[in-house]
Amino acid sequence: MKRALTPGTFDPITSGHIEIISRASRIFDEVIVAVAASPKKQPLFSLDERVALAREALKGMPNVRVEPFCGLLVDFAREMDAHVAVKGLRAITDFEYEFQQTALNYQLDPHLETIFIMSSPEYMYLSSSVVREIASFKGDVAQFVPSCVNDALKAKFA
């Protein structure tokens, strides 16, 4: 069984994330969406909220499950018996950060391979942070996120 992780903070999950997860789910037998606690990023949504929103958004994908994790990605991957991490790559600006993460993770555990899926042009400039910013000013983010996230953002910024 080929199992992959798609790690991220998912604060909140967007249509761009969902596209990458969906494409990964067609390549691997099982995909675990690994929602990082990421306390240093001071997320808008709690870890439980981010997990619940991701589960709701992905409930139509039978070989995808969502799990929270604290600590190092390489440790969580070992715990889950996953040897591949799949990341989405958007504009070229993502590259340096992802390059660093991949190199460090490889040094920490060479058994964890990181591979990248290029975002489709539609989602190339979409990120959780721009979604949060637009929503914070009461802008319409319905085209960028699943409806459960849209509702959660409206409630957060009401």
List residues binding ligand PNS (CB under 6 A): 7-9, 36, 38, 72-73, 101, 104-105
Q: How far is the CB of 83 from ligand PNS (least distance, A)?
A: 15
Considering beta carbons, is residue 7 or 146 the nearer one to ligand PNS?
A: 7
Considering beta carbons, is residue 98 or 151 the nearer one to ligand PNS?
A: 98
Considering beta carbons, is residue 99 or 138 the nearer one to ligand PNS?
A: 99
Q: How far is the CB of 18 from ligand PNS (least distance, A)?
A: 14
- Rounded to the nearest 5 percent, the helix, strand and coil shares of the chain are 45, 20, 35
Catalytic residues, by residue number, are 17, 41, 90, 128
- Residues β-bridged to residue 69: 36
Q: How far is the CB of 158 from ligand PNS (least distance, A)?
A: 25
Q: How far is the CB of 149 from ligand PNS (least distance, A)?
A: 15
DSSP, collapsed to helix, strand or coil, labels residue 3 as strand
Q: DSSP state, 120? A: P
Task: Give the closest residue to 31 by CA, choosing from 54, 55, 6.
Answer: 6
Q: Classify strands 64-69 and 84-89 as parallel, antiparallel or unpaired.
A: unpaired
Cβ 85 vs Cβ 4: under 8 Å: yes
Considering beta carbons, is residue 14 or 150 the nearer one to ligand PNS?
A: 14
Task: Give the closest residue to 61 by CA, choosing from 96, 31, 16, 95.
Answer: 31
